[in-house]
Amino acid sequence: MSVSNPHLKLENATFETSAATLAQCPVDGKLEIAFCGRSNAGKSSAINYLTSNKKLARTSKTPGRTQLINFFSISDEFRMVDLPGYGYAKVPSAVKKDWHRNIDQYLQKRAALCGLVLMMDIRHPLKEFDKTMIEWSLNSQVPLHILLTKCDKLKRGAQSKALFAVKKQLPDNVSVQLFSSTHAIGKDQFLIQLRIWLADLVNM
């Protein structure tokens, strides 16, 4: 599968649908970049910032409100996917198991998945789930880019130190950057990475 135009505008994003299970997901036709992370990593806020639409992805002060796999259409060939968060959410364990099972099925069986964006709170990086996702992406050969979110919570020197510390623990083919949706940090750098991914697909 390839795309004809790697220069897509995320501002064109529109909500497409939500799915509770893999069977409810849209037809596996468009290329998909999936956003994942712990429930308090700020995935929905990041999607809203990247698309310049504060109302696109549902946000909440209560971590874990994203309980479904949410699909956002960017063009006829490309969509972004917001996966349910791991860990923190105060929900029954049976519900949490369903979330995790659905995420696993999406990652394992979704042929359209062409890139994974892992979000980690810069103050608490590389937790068990994060390491699992990094290992999975390497084994599955799905490109991975990491956003160190909420970087505005640290001073500039501490940001650089945290970024360097995470980089040292990553394989060379995993990219990482500073990011803050509330302070508008990191959008341009992320778009560069996205265009690199899509350009590679064009040349496949």
Identify the CATH number of the domain in which residue 133 sits: 3.40.50.300
Is residue 5, in this structure, part of any structural domain at all?
no
Taking CA atoms, 115 is separated from 7, 27, 72, 79, in Å, by 16, 18, 15, 11
- What pLDDT digit, counting tens, does each position of 116-147 carry? 999 999 999 999 889 989 999 998 999 999 99
Is residue 2, in this structure, part of any structural domain at all?
no
Q: Domain total for the chain?
A: 1
Please give the share of the chain, as a percent, with pLDDT higher than 70. Answer: 84
CB 11 within 8 A of CB 48: no
- Please give the sequence-ordered ranges of beta strands (E in DSSP) within 58-130, or none if there are none: 69-73, 78-82, 113-121
Is residue 3, in this structure, part of any structural domain at all?
no
Range of the domain at 196: 10-202
